Amino acid sequence: MHARINTFSPTCQRCNEENEYEMHCLFFCNTSRQVWFASQLGLRVHELSLNVNTAIQQIMENLDEEGNTIFANTLWEIWKERNKAVLERCIFKPHAVIQRIKTIITCSQMELSLEPTNTRQLFQEQYEYNSNGWQVIIDGSWDCSMKAGAGYVVYNKGILHGVGLHFFSVHDSFQAEAVAMKEAMAYIFTDLNLPEGIKVQFFSDCLNLVTAVNQGDNTELPSWRAVQVVSHLIVQLEITKTDATVLFARREAIQQAHELASLARRQSLTYQGRPHMVL
């Protein structure tokens, strides 16, 4: 950036100790060192070559397949967090990077059956499965310590598009279900920014929530704490330009979302994007 914009400082925006170059950015900066040492690889990077290609080859030659997966994801997450620090003036948080990597690796190890055909068969018994639009299966998980997790799996035209896990804290299980739907809607309506008129189906096994959202009524909820979230869901459905519907589904139809929600709650994980797994 300094080479292109001479008024931009060449000094590392994270440590302010020396000029930033490839090896400093990815390995030698104190914030990057913290990530590598605290990662599952436990790397001490101070003895690496100053040439980035040589250094990467040096590391990968001594790792197995799983180790190389962790290494590649760690490089990518350090780069993304560095960009946020430089371009958005955010504080580089090594612990947040390590947590994201942990989530990615955990997802890659999950044996989820996400075949679109199975999902279609489960849904067909109650209503027509829409293979030409978007389907989102959602679930929330909660325990008495007030830890909660949201999980959702997103299909586009019957093909797996992405997954989401979110860790949070609420007071009851109905709240957890409502927040899970809120997170899923935020991903579909805000992050994806789908074109006007496209069909979207949200599936949940929480009948009370599905009924409240469809009727636009938040007065008969099992939890008064969820009133604000349910009101938000109702408004989102009213203002969206997509053809969105919220439908009830049996537990077995949302099993994958249930597993993700439980994982998020148990391990305090948050992740959103492409599933890092072989289908």
**How much is the pTM?**
0.60
Q: What is the pLDDT of residue 29?
A: 94
C-beta separation of 112 from 277 below 8 A? yes
Task: Tell me the two tokens of residue 15.
Answer: 């440590």
Task: Tell me the two tokens of residue 42.
Answer: 């436990």
Task: Tell me the two tokens of residue 265.
Answer: 């709650």
β-pair type (199-204, 243-248): parallel
Asked if residue 119 has pLDDT above 60, the reply is no
DSSP lists the bridge partners of residue 272 as: 164
Cα 256–chain centre separation: 14
- Mention every residue, 6+ apart, whose C-beta is less than 8 A from residue 76: none
C-beta separation of 228 from 100 below 8 A? no
Of residues 134 and 108, more confidently modeled: 134
Q: What is the pLDDT of residue 114?
A: 47
> Over the chain, what is the mean pLDDT?
86
Residues 7-50 pLDDT 10s? 888 999 899 999 999 999 999 999 999 999 988 888 888 888 88
C-beta separation of 125 from 224 below 8 A? no
Q: At what angle do helices 30-38 and 65-87 cross, to 10 degrees?
A: 150
CA-to-CA dists, residue 212 to 144, 150, 215, angstroms: 24, 19, 5
Q: What is the pLDDT of residue 117?
A: 44
Of residues 31 and 110, more confidently modeled: 31
Residues 208-259 pLDDT 10s? 999 999 999 998 898 999 999 999 999 999 999 999 999 988 888 888 899 9
Q: What is the pLDDT of residue 167?
A: 95
Query: What are the structural domain ranges in the chain?
Result: 22-109, 116-273
Sequence letter at residue 111:
E
- Mention every residue, 6+ apart, whose C-beta is less than 8 A from residue 206: 140, 174, 177
CATH superfamily of the domain spanning 116-273: Ribonuclease H-like superfamily/Ribonuclease H (3.30.420.10)
Place of tokens 């290609």: 53
C-beta separation of 185 from 232 below 8 A? no
Q: Give the pLDDT band of residue 108 (cuts 50, 70, 90).
A: low
